[in-house]
Amino acid sequence: MRSSLIALCAVTVAACGGGTPAPRAADVAALPWDSVEALARGTTVTWRMWRGDPSINRYVDDWITPRLAACCGVTLRTAEGQGPDILQQLRLETAAGAAGTTDLAWINGETFAALQRDSLLGGPWAHRLPSAQSLDSASAIIMRDFERPTEGFEMPWGRVQFALVYDSLRTPSPPRSVSALAEWIRAHPGRFTHDQGFTGTTFLKVVLYALNGGVGTFQGGFDAATWDRTAPRLFTWLEALVPSFWREGRAYPQSVADLDRLFANGEVDFAMGNNHLGVATKVRRGTYPASARVLMLDDGMIANTHYLGIPSNATNPAGAMVVANFLLSPAAQYEKQRVEVWADGTVLDINKLDTEWQARFAALAADPLGFPDSVAARLAVPEVAAEWHDRVVSEWRRRIRGRAGE
Amino acid sequence: MSERPRVLLLAGLTLTALLPLAALLLAAFGMRWFFPSLLPEAWTAESWRDLGGGRLLTALVESIGLGLAVGVGATALAVPIGRALARAGGGLERLGAAAAFLPVAVPPIALAAGLQLALLRLGLGGTRTAVFLGHLVPATGYLSLYFLGVFRLLDPDYEATARTLGATPRQVLQRVLAPLLARPLREALALGFLISWAQVPLTLVLGGGRVRTLAVEVVAYVQAGQDRHAATAGLLLVIPAVLALAIARRSADRTTVVMT
Amino acid sequence: MNRHTGSWVAIGLLAVAPLVGLAWAIWAGAGGADGAFALATLGERLRRPAPWISLAWSTIAALVATALATMGAITIALAFRGTRAADRAARALATLPLPIPPIVVAAAAVLVLSQSGLLARLAATAGWISVPAEMPALLNVPHGTGLILALAWKELGFLSLLACTVVAGLDPELEATARTLGASARTARRRVLVPMIWRGIFPGVVAAFAFVLGSYELPALLGPTHPQPLAVAVLERARDADLAARGDAWAATLLLFAAAIAAVGWHEWSRSRA
């Protein structure tokens, strides 16, 4: 208690004294929770996040923001920025010794690894949140971000699983494994492609695992010898197959949004996405035709979690923790998972909640497109160290994209 | 020129204006608009309701405010710059013209990173002021060229004669310069507004994601495949811009001086 | 105080931002941002072929688009110089793209020109094609046709405004004199009017060329996957997870600066001739 009082004094002095640095997340986290809430009351939190999806924006702007103001007296402001932008912004701010412009950031995977490498995240703090009691802390997919233990430097926020998308009218019996997909692509030239972004890379990793005896080969950190042994299988597979891709593999959609457009208009027969539950949302919105369905390959589909971090130069870590705590509450997690809202999976262990919330989450579980939850869970494959991801990106750019047109 | 090619040309021009407009309107109101259908399966005003909800409206206000500020700020800088360079003449004037052309020719994506670090060091990272200063760079370059042209045509003897006849510098400004510059000033404000209005890379980088103009919202929606919202915000971007141009065009004959 | 002080202040104000940008590009391109500044790093980065291929592709695309837009602008300015409704309508339509932001031009181009876009659907309605693949690919292709058309349309707005203004200011006696001296209407146009318009709009043509060469939004949406347009390559490297690759971006930025300075030189040379 005494130490926390000292910490509170330190934090308060730092927060009020002009010119002195802002309180650090780790110091704030040492305080009792009601002190954190008291510090946060009446402050503004800037949350840097991806702002491209109107459904997510509506959830944040219309559902979260007013409730946060009402419950905790915190004003939530959003700022646009995804992984690479956040990294660049924080690096520059730190280099310039400037005050932070971000209190809370939506991050995961390679961004988390890069931010930790440069000590750009504050913490540990996430384990101190009252809501964190209900986290699904047994799940490696949730508690380890691309195999890196989160160790309280980021808070799990949502869980998704990669899936392909097909049109049940156009392709009544789709391929259900990586090898069957290769056969299908050869038999239907020009009808398959993947995007150049994160989603497309996830697809390439699914293939990489499948061709090399599963994800186990890649677990336990990056290993150059394993990469030299396994990567050629992926790239020879691709080199043999890309002539049968859309535009003979000479062009690739810039983003998964472009791939969605190709799929919806019948230019290709498959789309893909990082959130299999989101397919129903895209059907509702009219991005996909009503006959679009989720497809999971038997080789295993990568599941991954997205997180919230507090930058080390954040000016309002107490406010950021209060926001994070609210976002992890059963009510906020439930709202987020509804298909009509966002369809983003919860990171809570339902069994740790009271019976009322258990019943409500159970009622959500049924996928409206008839994809059984148990199958998705059985096929879920965890992410591996971020360096594998980065290697796939750079090697693909060099060997596959670079050969286009030659 | 005979009539037939003129008719063909006019028809072609009409198509280049109508096709993009029709596509944007269909995308903004359409739902499930897939090949080969010319018209969507269903219609919705969902994205327009979001406009009332605040996000696009806030961005619209942000864009208009920034555009006006940049128009005024760049004009205020460009008038004395253009005048000083036009009076200097000779090699100095040529050097000045080259210096004014530089911020016009250097792509914003090349400028953005360096300016970002400089503005962060000044404690302006991610602020509206930073975005304003960033937009001023191309706008001031462009308008300085413009006013260099204006003042080159403007006989400096006007001012000297007025002074000889006993006018104070203030009277020279009020009675001689202001009427002569009224039209160029109006055009300059509109052009400065337009340069800010369409700017994306400088806003994204210098605004640090916190300054959300309409153009930046369109980029976010396009990247996310939200065609309906992208088209809606796109239409909102086009309408005031066309109006601003119409204002500038009311004295189109003056625009020659822009680049000569 | 020197009477040229004002001019020097003006020049300083104009040049400061580009110089800051240039200094950053050299510093970060040489590894300064990663704490290992060495000019040799910069030299090594600039010896790689990739950014030069991107520069070459982008330059050719910008040149072709600018040439198309210039020809279009001169043709329109000459064909519609009257005061009738059709003349005024044509001039207004030609200048329409000037105020439309590039990102909107790009988004509209995707909706119109893609293989399942509005043009393809019109073709399908007419029965000329049945699936998108039968529609010629205009976007994201190495020949860049769709990108060049969109860039040219965007430039047409600016260049036709300039060309129409030049035509409006031409002495009507000129053409009449040429005709009196025995030139046909066609010859008078080609030998007298077109060169005069060309001289009048040339600095604008250079400015438009510099603008499209460095623009990002259109190539990002409409450009080919390979070779990458220079502006797209710069931004992709700048966002790379590998920090060393980010340095490549700043080195490639120097090529953009060089292209801009070349355009400035071209502009000044054309002015000094005029």
Quick check: A267 and C116 CB within 8 A?
A: yes
For residue range B106-141, what is the model confidence (pLDDT) as tens digits?
999 889 888 988 898 888 888 899 999 999 999 999
The SS3 of residue A380 is strand
CB distance from B200 to chain C under 8 Å?
Answer: yes
The enclosing H or E element of C34 equals none
Chains within contact range of chain C (3+ C-beta pairs < 8 Å): A, B
Fold agreement (A2-157+305-366, A163-303+378-401): yes
pLDDT band for A2, please (50, 70, 90 cuts): very low
Chain C partners of B141 at a C-beta cutoff of 8 Å? 14
Give the pLDDT band of residue B23 (cuts 50, 70, 90): very high
pLDDT at B163 over 80: no
Torsion of CA A152, A154, A155, A158, to 10 degrees: -150
pLDDT digits (tens, 9 = 90+) for A280-326: 889 988 899 999 999 999 999 999 999 999 999 999 999 999 999 99
Would you place residue B52 in the very low, low, confident or very high pLDDT band (cuts 50, 70, 90)? Answer: low
Mean pLDDT check: name the lowest of B36-40, B247-251, C135-139, C194-198.
B247-251
> What is the C-alpha radius of gyration for chain A, rounded to an integer number of angstroms?
22
pLDDT tens-digit readout, A60-86: 988 999 999 999 999 999 988 888 888
Average of per-residue pLDDT across C156-171: 89
Architecture label for domain A2-157+305-366? 3-Layer(aba) Sandwich (3.40)
> Using the beta-carbon criterion (under 8 Å), do B200 and C217 form an inter-chain contact?
yes
Averaged pLDDT for residues C51-79? 95
Indicate the residue of C14, C20, C118 with minimum beta-carbon distance to B100: C14
CB-based contact, B227 to chain A, within 8 Å: yes
Q: How far is A404 from chain C (nearest CA, A)?
A: 6
Candidates B120, B204, B226; nearest CB to A96: B120
Q: How far apart are CA B247 and CA B245, in angstroms?
A: 5
Specify the pLDDT at position C1.
47
Contacts of B59 in chain C (CB under 8 A): none
Report H helices in chain B. Answer: 3-29, 46-53, 55-88, 90-105, 108-121, 128-153, 157-164, 169-171, 178-198, 201-206, 214-223, 227-249
A191 Cα to chain C: minimum distance (Å) = 10
Domain ranges of chain B: 46-153+183-258
What's the confidence (pLDDT) of residue B258? 41
- Asked if A306 and A107 count as a contact pair (C-beta separation under 8 A), the reply is yes
From chain A, the residues in CB contact with B116 under 8 A are 92
Segment A225-252 shows an average pLDDT of 96
CA angle A368, A372, A378 (to 5 degrees): 145
Mean pLDDT of A165-177: 95
| Residue that the structure tokens 């318009």 belong to | C197
Which span out of A229-233, B230-234, C176-180 was modeled with the highest average pLDDT?
A229-233
Question: Can you name the CATH fold of B46-153+183-258?
Answer: MetI-like fold (1.10.3720)
Chain B residues with beta carbon closer than 8 angstroms to that of C75: 9
pLDDT tens digit sequence for C244-267 = 788 888 889 999 999 988 988 887
Q: Which residues of A touch C226 (CB under 8 A)?
A: 250-251, 401-402, 404-405
CA distance to partner chain C, nearest, from residue B202 (Å): 11
Distances (CA, A) of B192 to B241, C16, C94: 11, 19, 21
Average pLDDT score over chain C? 89
In this predicted structure, what is the pLDDT of residue A11? 47
Q: How far is C114 from chain A (nearest CA, A)?
A: 9
- At A333-376, the pLDDT tens digits run 999 998 888 889 999 999 999 999 999 988 886 666 667 778 88
Least CA distance to C212: which residue of chain B?
B107
Q: Which fold has domain C48-238?
A: MetI-like fold (1.10.3720)
Q: Where are the domains of chain C?
A: 48-238
pLDDT score, position C184: 81
Contact A255 B35 (CB under 8 A): no
pLDDT at C274: 58
CA–CA separation, C243 vs A101, rounded Å?
A: 22
Task: Express each pLDDT in B57-88 by its tens digit.
Answer: 889 999 999 999 999 999 999 999 999 998 88
| Dihedral angle sign, alpha carbons of residues A246, A247, A248, A254 | negative
State the average pLDDT for chain B.
Answer: 86
Task: Give the pLDDT band of residue C160 (cuts 50, 70, 90).
Answer: very high
Q: How far is A55 from chain B (nearest CA, A)?
A: 10
Judge whether residue A7 has pLDDT over 80.
Answer: no
Does the beta-carbon distance from C15 to B104 stay under 8 Å?
no
Confidence of residue C56 (pLDDT cuts 50, 70, 90): very high
Dihedral over alpha carbons C134, C140, C143, C148 (to 10 degrees) = 110
CA distance B187 to C161: 13
CATH of segment(s) A163-303+378-401: 3.40.190.10
Report the DSSP beta bridge partners of residue B196.
Answer: none
- Chain B residues near residue C253 by CB distance under 8 angstroms: 109-110, 113
Residue B1 pLDDT: 54
pLDDT of residue B154: 77
- The ipTM assigned to this model is 0.89
d(CA C274, CA B94): 13
CA dihedral (B244, B248, B252, B255) positive or negative: negative
CB of A185 closer than 8 Å to CB of A241: yes
Residues 224-253 of C with CB under 8 A from A: 224-227, 238-242, 245-246
Using DSSP, state whether A316 is helix, strand or coil: coil
B123 touches chain A (CB under 8 A): yes
Q: How far is C133 from chain A (nearest CA, A)?
A: 7
